[in-house]
């Protein structure tokens, strides 16, 4: 049987979990891989089952670490570019909690797949899509003008605290910055923010009121930045927001502002 057919028959695909029980799986890793972790295959399925090992010699994995607590709201949904936390039911063993760090990825010799079978699968397509989107945004997120960033950075701590409090309640933040270019000292940026809540949270009066209260505090802190004029901060629901609404806005990866040191007890030893 040809290589491609063997790989397809063994059900190798994106979203497969590997137990790190073979030293060959760790050969190219630049980080420590404890025995209780899982390696999630993030390579695209077509590349994974390619018949030529010359054309596609390797596949890529992301290391998942077990988490000894419920996921932190600030790390859910890929909001933070430096860490992601989520819950999974692996192989029907019940819900367990996991985290991953974006730099804990490495390439593995693809020929090894011919000698073994998948250990388990990530059947939750939404979670897999979320993880892959989180990884891809490391390369595609918008770079804002340096002058704009430096003006926000001047009040990074108080602004970051507000975003940290918003984290559990919002799914995305969109911003419109005018002009989207470097400005000289004395010139002013205008900004509009759109805080997007999941529909269920938006309809929860307590959560909405809490988010609205933090929004007012955030508006004050941003307004205190020299050379920044806040025109508007709105709160929208995922159930009602449209592509038309987002025209002119860019998604803002604000994680560098709200980043807090992760749970040290849950971190690998070499971090």
Per-residue pLDDT tens over the stretch 88-117: 887 666 789 999 999 999 999 999 999 899
pLDDT digits (tens, 9 = 90+) for 149-174: 899 988 988 988 888 888 788 888 99
CA distance 94 to 87: 10
**DSSP output for 25-81:** GGTT-SS---TT-EEEE-S-HHHHT-S-TTT--EEEEEEEEE-SSPPPGGGGGG-ST
Q: According to the model, what pLDDT value does residue 164 have? A: 81
pTM for this one?
A: 0.71
CA distance 126 to 139: 21
Q: According to the model, what pLDDT value does residue 184 have? A: 86
CA distance 246 to 175: 9
pLDDT digits (tens, 9 = 90+) for 125-149: 889 999 999 999 888 777 888 899 8
pLDDT digits (tens, 9 = 90+) for 190-230: 999 999 999 999 999 999 999 999 999 999 999 999 999 99
Mean pLDDT, rounded, for 56-75: 93
**Domains along the chain?**
3-140 (no CATH), 146-252 (3.30.300)
Q: According to the model, what pLDDT value does residue 95 have? A: 86
Q: Which of 29, 83, 129, 104 is nearest to 263 (CA)?
A: 83
* Four-residue CA torsion sign, 253, 41, 17, 263: negative
């Amino acid at each position: 049987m040809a290589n491609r057919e063997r790989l397809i028959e063994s059900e190798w695909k994106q979203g497969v979990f590997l137990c790190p029980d073979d030293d060959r799986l760790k050969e190219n890793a630049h980080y420590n891989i404890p025995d209780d972790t899982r390696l999630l295959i993030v390579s695209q399925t077509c590349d994974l089952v390619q018949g030529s090992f010359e054309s596609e010699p390797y596949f890529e994995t992301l290391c998942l670490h077990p988490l000894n607590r419920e996921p932190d709201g600030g790390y859910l949904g890929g909001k933070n570019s430096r860490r992601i936390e989520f819950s999974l039911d692996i192989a029907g063993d019940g819900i367990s909690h996991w985290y991953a760090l974006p730099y804990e990825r490495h390439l593995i010799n693809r020929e090894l797949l011919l000698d073994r079978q998948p250990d388990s699968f990530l059947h939750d397509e939404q979670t897999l899509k979320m993880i892959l989107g989180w990884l891809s945004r490391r390369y595609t997120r918008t770079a804002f003008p340096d002058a704009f960033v430096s003006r926000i950075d001047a009040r990074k701590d108080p602004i970051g605290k507000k975003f940290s409090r918003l984290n559990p309640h919002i799914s995305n933040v969109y911003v419109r910055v005018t002009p989207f270019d470097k400005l000289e000292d004395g010139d002013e940026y205008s900004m509009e923010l759109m805080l997007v809540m999941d529909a269920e949270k938006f309809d929860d009066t307590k959560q909405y009121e809490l988010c609205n209260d933090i929004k007012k505090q955030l508006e004050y802190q941003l307004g205190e930045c020299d050379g920044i004029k806040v025109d508007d901060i709105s709160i929208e629901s995922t159930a009602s927001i449209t592509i038309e609404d987002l025209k002119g806005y860019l998604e803002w990866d604000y994680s560098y502002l709200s980043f807090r040191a992760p749970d040290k007890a849950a971190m690998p030893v070499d971090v």
